């Protein structure tokens, strides 16, 4: 029967597409300045007590800006960082932030790490965010 080979090819193609590497980078302007401003307000209210007002970290919370932070996340995706924040932050109320707040805070973190802003807001769906590579240094073009 000819349907079986077609079905096998379709399944294989969808598996390949699901494993495709991210096509964009944090250096491609994946958030807006307005979104980062909203994120700064959420960060000040929900995150600064532990991570510091300058994103420098605290006694038990790691920094969210600078070389240590960017090297720790290098090679992962914006989706990975989004999910980490969404599921485990704030530490005293994990999962308290909604997806919009998490995306806004992530935009603020990107701005604090001097990744360029763009014209489109950072998405709130992890599937889309997994298409954005976190790269500690600007790639050569």
Host H or E run for residue 49: helix 48-51
Is pLDDT of 6 > 90? no
Residue 39 falls inside a structural domain: yes
Q: In percent, how much of the chain has pLDDT > 90?
A: 82
Q: What pLDDT is attached to residue 19?
A: 55
**C-beta separation of 78 from 132 below 8 A:** yes
Q: What pLDDT is attached to residue 2?
A: 54
Output the domain CATH number for residue 35.
1.10.760.10
Q: What pLDDT is attached to residue 95?
A: 94
Residue 19 falls inside a structural domain: no
**C-beta separation of 35 from 103 below 8 A:** yes
Work out the mean pLDDT of the chain and round it to a whole number.
90
User: How many separate domains does the chain show?
Assistant: 1
Question: What global pTM score does this model have?
Answer: 0.84
Residue 14 falls inside a structural domain: no
């Amino acid at each position: 029967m000819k349907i079986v080979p077609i079905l096998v090819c379709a399944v294989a193609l969808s598996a390949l597409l699901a494993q495709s590497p991210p096509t964009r980078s944090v250096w491609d302007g994946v958030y807006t300045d307005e979104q980062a401003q909203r994120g700064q307000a959420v960060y000040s209210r929900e995150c600064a007590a532990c991570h510091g007002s300058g994103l420098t970290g605290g006694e038990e919370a790691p920094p969210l800006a600078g070389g240590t932070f960017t090297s720790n996340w290098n090679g992962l995706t914006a989706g990975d960082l989004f999910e980490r924040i969404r599921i485990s932050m704030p530490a005293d109320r994990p999962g308290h932030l909604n997806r919009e707040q998490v995306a806004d805070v992530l935009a603020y973190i990107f701005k604090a790490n001097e990744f360029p802003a763009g014209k489109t807001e950072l998405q709130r769906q992890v599937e889309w965010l997994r298409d954005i590579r976190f790269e500690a240094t600007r790639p050569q073009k």
